[in-house]
Chains A and B, each alone.
Chain A
Amino acid sequence: MKEKFGLHNLPEAPVTLETTLINKTGSWKNIQPVLQESTAPCTAACPAGIEIPLYFDMLIRGRFDEAAKILHESNPFPSITGRVCPHFCEQKCNRGYFDEAIGIRGIERYLGDLYLDKKWSPPDVTRDEKVAVVGSGPAGLSAAHFLRKKGYRVTVFERDQKLGGVLRYGIPDYRLPKDILDREIEALKREGIEFKTGVEVGKDISFEELKNSFDAVFFGTGAPLEREMRIPGEELFIKGVEFLKDVNTGKIKKFSGKVAVVGGGNVAMDVARSLLRLGATPVVLYRRTEKEMPAIREEVERAMEDGIEFKFLTLPVRAEKKNGKIELTNIKMKLGEPDETGRRRPIPIEGSEFTEEYDAVITAIGELADLSIFPEDLLNKKGWLDVDLRTTATKDDRVFAGGDLVLGPATVIEAIALGKRAAINIDRRINGLELKEFRPFEKVVEYKKIVLDYFMEEPRQKQPEVPVEERIRHFDVEEVGDYTPEQVQKEALRCFSCGHCNGCGTCWVFCPDMAIGWENDQPVFIYDYCKGCGICSAECPRDVIQMVQVRTF
């Protein structure tokens, strides 16, 4: 006791004189809490590392503007990914182990659409350097957007007449309406990005010329070439990507007859489902089983719902033209040992060949990049473009590349991620800084760290869908609808907010020492009084508070 008490200052009766704030009980502790956010599995799973809990937090508070800004920070086209993304985030969502994963994509789409026509202008041109972007697919557009945001003058070169690349020519309308794409591109135009369409690098402008006219060049030219089957009669087949382009440009408005679609990837699904909507009867031939299909699971399911016939463990070996039809000979396969991708290798079963008749055959067994424009010295031994995926840098200091061009057929979000990565590193390269290597997140919140007691089982909100019988009759009617604002709110509230303090106040509520203050919707530890009991850390539903050693013995 600091003060000396005696007859002169003691009250007549034993009555206290002050509060316990004189006792700095913080000195009792050996450990103390700190607010330490870590990565949510959704963010870690997202190639673009979208900080989902962060923008959900804003959504819950009704701060939509801030939510949208956070989202656009990693993904400039949420209206697009909100429709076509395979949502790796949802696959890893911790809530999925509890009841059902959060409808992250639906919320992304809702928020994207809400801000589709009112995005924020990037800063004025603040840099003298100019950057060229080749290809206006998701990688290119993403790179252009983020470079523009950094103040560079950006020119996008597109060989087609219209912008969007695979977004426009690869993805059918029922998944991604052209209107949405157009509006996303409009927003980019408003940002001041210069677009040059109908200009093909290597033809209208040489690689060298381009490189010399700009301080840096980003290539996002995609994987527009359909892989060949190398079987007799292949010339009779239609290439998947070309078919889709024709459909998407309106060249093909109808298609009839029985059509074999060869392949199990996303292009195969898009082709098959488009065919159905154009009037044909598609049959998907895939050499492995449903389990090994590389297509987005959801697309496979939808194709099956559509009533499309699948023939698994089936591989065409030759084709012949007969009576105006194609006679396709297939062989039955069986699964062997896993290959380098982890999928079980298909092995032909001898003598199992059988023949079928089709009106057409469309192949979609894999897409390839067109590397003919690149000088040899940028290629590696295998003949592929030599790109460091951690930085998107090529062997040429001024050349960067991303998207399907470097990944092979992948997803829009991966392209967007590489576009942003390129923008960051082009900026660093121009500024003479070391490139930033992107690595997977290290501290990811595990499911067991979530204090489940704070959550009740609640079904995931469902986006409205056009009924199957209705959707298969239209090519340009989007089959999935938007969440309502109420659904967004409900769904956002289901989020565990793994590793991100959303200001729930659990720590504050249970602190036995009134040692947690509250500022800006976050806990503030009052170490003078915190005794280090650890309840705040143990009870934090989302693993945001860690106990750290303050004293050792």
Chain B
Amino acid sequence: MTTAMKKVLTGNNSVSWGVKLSRVQVISAYPITPQTTIVELLSEMVANGELEAEFIKVESEHSAMSAVIGASAAGARAFTATSAQGLALMHEMLHWAAGARLPIVLANVNRAFGPPWSIWTEQTDSLAQRDTGWIQIYVESNQEALDNVILAYKIAEQVNLPVMIVLEAFVLSHTNEPVEIYPQEMVDEFLPPRENPLYVVEPGNNYAVGSLGGPDVYMEWRYKMQKAMERAVDVIKTEGENFGDHFGRKYGLYEGYMLDDADIVLVSAGAFTSTVKYTVKHYRKETGEKVGVLRLRAFRPFPHDALREALCCRKKVAVLDRNISFGHHGIFYSELKSALYRLKDDKRPPMFGYILGLGGRDITPKDIREIIEDVKTREEIEEDIIWKGVKP
């Protein structure tokens, strides 16, 4: 076996490498900042024969998703990538991909919606696709981005649901990090060619996929999708561990950082968690206070049980949302709140929901430090949104 090589890659190019190593067969995409460099590198890889795949250069994201739906239905391993407006344009077909039970992988580079026009990071775009039936995994680093593309196919093809890998604009997408690129043989061992599809649209299989399903059958198929999502919780966990055994990097439903003994837990997702971790590390050193971090990875399926277990009996939980559900709260906050509802009163920690960093506004260690200080002053939930950094 050839040894792994290290390359300095942007988050986007890490995704591209993940796609290449996953031996994706059909790629279709439409350019949108900040996703572009994912598909640029893939185009090169396909063009120079490094990746034996077809690249369908479509005229819209809607078509990109449709193209990979077709390809996946025809038995191929398929990939697409997009951001914000593009993801929203795909929305209809996200439902279609999931309903058709196709193990497509999509990389979404978080970007804020216009207007006003923004190309900077924010998680609302992917979170808004919450109910499409897609598995969503949020990554923190370029390495994790690469690894989780491979992992995504491993998961998707077991539960026959599509997977969205989410990485943040610029912070990750255009930022270089050293990334380990595994030998192809090693990846092939972990991720064999697509196996046991539920169906393949090819001659000989004289069935129709997606025919009219009346009220007498529709609900059962939605039930089956939910069950597949529930199975995915275990699959993500198990395959994350297997990934660790195979490649030396283990992934779970979430990641804990200084979490075990933490009284105050900061919950976040995505790349800015690095800033949270950095701040917490220093804060502990300086104050000795037991502050810890829980980084959410799987948003769909939402790992209720694991999170309940992880956050049970903590003194305080602060959720840092780089997103907002207008008229409600930070999305991770409200999701987590509902997950913890089943804890007994005495075991359920008070939760504080912070909204910060929208539209790519920097999240600095100072911001995090202020949040920790703020949490310390609070005992009861008095408001569901605590805005951080809104200028008067």
Contacts and interface: CB of A to CB of B under 8 A. Distances in A.
**In the complex, is A directly touching B at CB under 8 Å?**
yes
Contact of B221 (A1, A10, A17): A10
A7 B224 CA distance: 8
A13 interface: yes
Given A16-B207, A16-B208, A16-B211, A10 B217 contact: yes
Nearest to B211: A16
Nearest to A7: B220
Interface string B83-125: 0000000000000000111000000000000000000000000
A14 B211 CA distance: 7
Nearest to A17: B207
A13 B198 contact: yes
A15 B217 contact: no
Contact of B224 (A1, A10, A17): A10
Contact of A14 (B100, B216, B228): B100
Contact of B213 (A6, A7, A12, A14): A14
Contacts of B160: 12-13
Contacts of A14: 99-100, 209-211, 213, 221
B223 A7 contact: yes
Contacts of B213: 14
B216 A15 contact: no
Contacts of A12: 101, 160, 198, 224, 228
A17 B228 CA distance: 21
B199 interface: yes
Nearest to A9: B220
Contacts of B209: 13-16
B23 to A, nearest CB: 23
Contacts of B211: 14, 16
A11 interface: yes
A12 B224 CA distance: 7
Q: How big is the A interface, by class? A: 10 to 19
A346 B241 CA distance: 119
Nearest to A11: B198
Q: With a 10 A CB-CB cut-off, give which of A12, A13, A15, A16 has the most chain B CB atoms.
A: A13
A6 B220 contact: yes
Interface string A13-39: 111110000000000000000000000
A17 to B, nearest CB: 7
A38 B162 CA distance: 64
A14 B210 CA distance: 5
A17 B205 CA distance: 11
Interface residues of B, number: 19
A5 interface: yes
Contacts of B221: 10, 13-14
Nearest to B102: A13
A480 to B, nearest CB: 61
Given A7-B223, A7-B224, A13 B101 contact: yes
A15 B198 contact: yes
A351 B228 CA distance: 117
A13 B224 CA distance: 9
B216 A1 contact: yes
Contacts of A5: 216-217, 220
A429 B149 CA distance: 99
Contacts of A10: 217, 220-221, 224
Contacts of B101: 12-13
Contacts of A15: 198-199, 207-209
Nearest to B221: A14
B221 to A, nearest CB: 6
A542 B377 CA distance: 96
A7 B220 CA distance: 6
Nearest to B213: A14
A5 B198 CA distance: 19
A325 to B, nearest CB: 96
Nearest to B228: A12
A13 B199 contact: yes
Contacts of A11: 198
A493 B369 CA distance: 97
Contacts of A17: 207
A13 B97 CA distance: 11
Contacts of B228: 12
B231 to A, nearest CB: 11
Interface in B193-242: 198-199, 207-211, 213, 216-217, 220-221, 223-224, 228
A466 B89 CA distance: 84
A6 B217 CA distance: 7
Interface string B60-104: 000000000000000000000000000000000000000111000
A11 B217 CA distance: 11
Contacts of B199: 13, 15
Interface in A449-468: none
Q: With a 10 A CB-CB cut-off, give which of B160, B207, B210, B223 has the most chain A CB atoms.
A: B207
Contacts of B217: 5, 10
B100 A13 contact: yes
Nearest to A19: B206
A11 B208 CA distance: 12
B331 to A, nearest CB: 29
A270 to B, nearest CB: 73
B205 to A, nearest CB: 9
A5 B160 CA distance: 21
A12 B223 CA distance: 10
Q: With a 10 A CB-CB cut-off, give which of A12, A14, A17 has the most chain B CB atoms.
A: A14
A27 B228 CA distance: 41
Nearest to B198: A13
A10 B217 CA distance: 8
Nearest to A8: B220
A11 B224 CA distance: 9
A16 B217 CA distance: 12
B226 to A, nearest CB: 12
Nearest to A10: B220
Nearest to B73: A13
A305 B176 CA distance: 106
A5 B223 CA distance: 13
A6 B219 CA distance: 9
Given A12-B224, A13-B100, A14-B210, 14 more contacts: A5-B220, A7-B224, A10-B217, A10-B220, A12-B101, A13-B221, A14-B99, A14-B209, A14-B213, A15-B207, A15-B208, A16-B209, A16-B211, A17-B207
Q: Which 3 pairs show the lowest CB-CB distances between chains A and B?
A: A13-B101, A13-B198, A16-B208
Interface of A: 1, 5-7, 10-17
5 contacts: A13-B100, A13-B160, A16-B208, A16-B209, A16-B211
Interface of B: 99-101, 160, 198-199, 207-211, 213, 216-217, 220-221, 223-224, 228
